[in-house]
Amino acid sequence: MSATTWKEKLAGSVREDWAREIDVFETQIDLRKKGKIEERLFAETRLRRGTYGQRYDNGQRNDGEKTQTLPFPSGELTKGPVTMWDAPGMQRIKIPFGKLTAAQLDMLSELAEEYSDQILHITTRQDIQLHFIHIEDTPDIMRRLASVGITTREACGNTVRNVTACPYAGVCNTESFDVIPYANAITFFLLGHPDTQDFGRKFKIAFSGCKDEPCGLTNFHDAGAIARTRIVNGQVQRGFEYYVGGGLGAVPYPATLFDEFLPEEELLPITQSVCRVFSRLGERENRARARLKFVVKKLGIEEFKRLVLEDRATLRPDERWSSFLNDLHVTDEKPLKPPMPIGPGPYPAGFEAWRATNVRPQSQLGYVTAKVTFPLGDFTAKQGRALADLARRYTGDAMRATVEQNLLFRWLPEADLPAFYAELASFGLGADGADTITDIVSCPGTDTCKLGISSSRGLATELRKQLSVISETLAPAAKDLLIKCSGCSNSCGQHHVADMGFLGVSRNVNGRRVPHFQLVVGGQYRSNAASYGLAIGAVPSKRVPEIVKRLTDRYIGEKLDGETFQSFIGRIGKKEVRKLVDEMNVIPPYEQDPSFYSDWGDPREYTIGDLGVGECAGEVVPIVQVELAGSEREVFEAQVLLDEANYPGAAERAYSSMVQAAYALAREKNDQLSRDPEEVLREFRKYYYDTKLFFDPFSGGKFAHYYFAAHEDRKAAGASKEGAHQLIEEAQLFVEAAHQCYTRIGSALP
Amino acid sequence: MLSERLQLKLFVEPAPHFEIEALIPAFHGWIREKRLAELVIDVVDYSHVTNGPGVVLVGHASDFYFGDLDGAYGLMYSRKRGGPGADARLEDALRRLVNGARLLEQDPSLKLKFRTNEATLRLTDRLHAPNDDATFASTKTEAEALFGRIYSGASVQTEHLIEPQGPLGVRIKTSTAPTLDALLEKLGGPPQD
């Protein structure tokens, strides 16, 4: 008799412990449906299995004219606070270091086809996401994934997230050694480990084989390990340059060096102790301050290190710390074919351009890697199957999802390149331009993310479309520029480490909401994302392509020999860039050009409803706007002071911008308000924080905490460059939150 | 039909200046104006994906895709969950598909013309409808009976679309090409849920 459920069909082909976990999760789903599990507990439970909510899962959606209620069949049943049971959700699937086999890609494609919308989406952390999934389908999805060796456990929630690594590891010309055996060991050592189950926030780990390339992006991870070797008594010893406390998010922190050389046998126990200290000392109440970076900053690296080493000394020995070192070849890939140099041609049309950007020689002679570029990280189930088939015939199981949202094939004999390319092109995946200006990274943004403010994917699509048309005529230095887009300040699109980064914000213009993007420049992707850019100012979404073009033209026209975009921006100064931003900030009245009042790829009017333009709004709103614009200006001035190495001045100006933004709002409630910082803070707290008026549905009051902390620390904050940089980031976010608060208030007016 | 999950597609006549992005406001309009009886939630633009789903109107129980997943543009109705019993699933899908296609044809901004003499059917449920000869045989029988009845006795040909690892796929061709209005009338009019 044939099986009637996936559980029956896959019995015996799923690891016993994984099968049990999934059964438990399925039971929890049943219990929640019966109301026997509290919704918050269930939410954390499903998040730990990678099962997320999506936009509109509160059962409300604005159709461009009004907010409609979505009448889901399960009524008021929820799968978390304000998260309707039947609302489509997202399943994040951890792919450790992005390594995929052909069988896994086939399975992922089946799942996208049967439960999702035909699309597989690669994330900026080497995961794969399926969207528009129903919660009740997730146990079967998990079983089918488990049958090919994939677990979604701890893909989200306050856990150790997907461990990422350089996709070239093992075949790279600049690596010290292959980091994959170590990444693999730490992945499964920490998965479900008792010491990683009680964090206040997530914990991300990244590995890189070298220091100078961007591939590992260790600088913005909670723990980052860069491969190192040294000679001891004539023997080569392996270890890691080990960093802690990095992170992007709303306020990015560069990682701090923990140990210049952490011996390989100490990698797992020290990371375990880092986790234990994080678990013990990490913030629990205020999510905005709960990442490891805040613990490291608060304690200082020396004290943090002391605590970690003290903890390390108390750990009960675990054979897993070093057992994996007995076979560092366990993760090696076996090439399917012998190496062979490429023939003289002729080659298929488009091949040379593709080869120039998408192909790299491996450290193993005669083999190359080939990158398949996916626009916005998306590809279809059918393409997924075709890629799995290519892997089986050309390379074996040697694919890696990359943080640039592409897929890397490894161990491809050079001689096979033309045929491989021709096949890729036949199913629509022969695009060149990997790691160039057209290879734009984007988070999901307003397409599916609950936190999205502007359409990062819509913008990325438009930029890609426009840039692809002119890419052949672009100067090489322009082609090499990297663009990354995030739909909000949370940095999932990694906008801080692009040449040009964009993060979604909104502005009120003449009583209507207009989608904007903050332009972020000065970031550096190389050297594991060595430095972060700062926002220069907000540009209307519909003018972003124009500012990209003008900045690119200016760079090409004025750059010095060998000058990078980052150096160019540093040389001309942010004031010059700001001038461009200001020129772009002319928005025609709605009646003249309504297109500015919609976002890219979404014809709905970008508004949360009919904004009031009554007497009250007509008189008071412009004053608020003037004050808020003033606070924005002050943030920018703080950046200029930072560039001039006036760190105390930059910090003071950043703080001052927060006071002005708080004043702008507080004056609405108290028109006798003075500009005395103590009084402004008191009144802001009274009218906006204590009442939660300043809180937004997702971030709560976290941005107000930046202001309060800055007020407390204002005499000490600007002592260092890093301190001033961070304060500017926080000021930017507070001012942005003040804008949003004002918009919410405006929308509530009669 | 044992598979609860199925996808049925009708193709459009090639149009020289057609831009798929035009479907985005059209589908948003369907949500805003409640043009469908079923619960539809949002519109997703996948026009950047070659041979992709195109523009998707995401619903609770079913989706509508307008894209060129099969290499040619058309409207695909995709039942994800729920719906009528096994005997009525295919007919229900055809009715919803024809209703959707008719709405698109009636939209003057799109200038679309569907050809009704060819459809593709995919059963996206590998557990209950594995892609094998037995499933094809039963699907063929059911599809030929349904299309023969709705197409008023036209001859119906079916072909097993072979795609290794893919779901069961069937191409259905009919000897006549009735209008969408005629088909919808035969199917009982727009679904009322």
* CA nearest to A217, candidates A207, A204, A227, A202: A207
The length of chain B, given as a count of residues: 193
Distance to chain B for A359, nearest Cα, Å: 21
Residue type at position A190: L
Query: Bridge-partner residues for A52, per DSSP?
Result: A90
Yes or no, beta carbons of A458 and B45 under 8 Å apart = yes
CA distance A403 to A97: 10
B47 has a chain A CB within 8 A of its CB: yes
Q: What confidence tier does A748 reach under pLDDT thresholds 50, 70, 90?
A: very low
Neighbours of B77 (CB within 10 A): 25
Alpha helices in A1-50 (DSSP H): 6-9, 16-33, 39-47
- Find the angle CA(A293)-CA(A295)-CA(A298) to the nearest 5 degrees: 105
Q: What CA–CA distance (Å, rounded) separates A302 from A294?
A: 14
User: Looking at the partner chain, which of B41, B53, B69 has a beta carbon nearest the beta carbon of A70?
Assistant: B41
Lowest mean pLDDT among A283-292, A510-519, A552-561, B110-119: A283-292
Using alpha carbons, select from A252, A293, A212 the residue that is nearest to residue A532.
A252
Segment B90-127, tens digit of pLDDT: 999 999 999 999 999 999 999 999 999 999 999 999 99
The pTM for the full model equals 0.88
Q: Between vectors from CA A587 to CA A582 and to CA A592, what angle results, nearest 5°? A: 160
Cα distances (angstroms) measured from residue B10 to each of A5, B7, B13, B69, B130: 31, 10, 10, 12, 23
- Kindly state the DSSP code that residue B116 receives in the 8-state scheme: E
Structure-token pair, residue A24: 């438990």
Q: Do A523 and A532 touch, CB atoms closer than 8 A?
A: yes
Question: CA-to-CA distance for A419 and A424, rounded, in angstroms?
Answer: 9
Tell me which residue has tokens 């397409």: A447
pLDDT tens sequence across B24-52: 999 999 999 999 999 999 999 999 999 99
| CA dist B14 → B11, B22, B68, B70, B115 (Å) | 9, 15, 12, 14, 10
Question: Which of A60-69, A562-571, A741-750 bottoms out in mean pLDDT, i.e. has the lowest?
Answer: A741-750
Helix axes A647-669, A721-748, angle to 10 degrees: 20
Tokens 């009960």, residue? A316
A146-187 pLDDT per residue, tens: 999 999 999 998 999 999 999 999 999 999 999 999 999 999
Residue of A109, A119, A132 to mutate, interface with B, max B Cβ within 10 Å: A132
**Alpha helix stretches (DSSP H) within A345-433:** 351-358, 381-390, 417-426
Amino acid type, A135: I
Distance CA A432, CA A589 (A): 40
Written as six digits, the tokens of A421 are 């390319």
- Rounded distance between C-alpha atoms, residue A388 and residue A407, angstroms: 11
Distances (CA, A) of B67 to A1, A483, B43, B49: 39, 28, 13, 10
CA distance to partner chain B, nearest, from residue A589 (Å): 22
Q: How far is CA A440 from the centre of its chain?
A: 13
**β-pair partners for A315:** none
Interface confidence, given as ipTM, is: 0.97
At a CB cut-off of 8 Å and minimum separation 6, what does A155 contact? A48, A49, A50, A92, A93, A94, A127, A161, A162
Q: CB–CB of B28 and A603 under 8 A?
A: yes
Q: Which chain B residues are closer than 8 Å to A376 by Cβ? A: 48
- For helices A102-115 and A138-146, what crossing angle results, to 10°? 170
A464 min Cα distance to partner chain B (Å): 9
* Average of per-residue pLDDT values in chain A: 91
**Which residues of B fall within a CB distance of 8 Å from A465?**
48
- Residue A566 in contact with residue A534, Cβ under 8 Å? no
SS3 B56: strand
Q: Work out the percent of chain A whose per-residue pLDDT is above 70.
A: 96
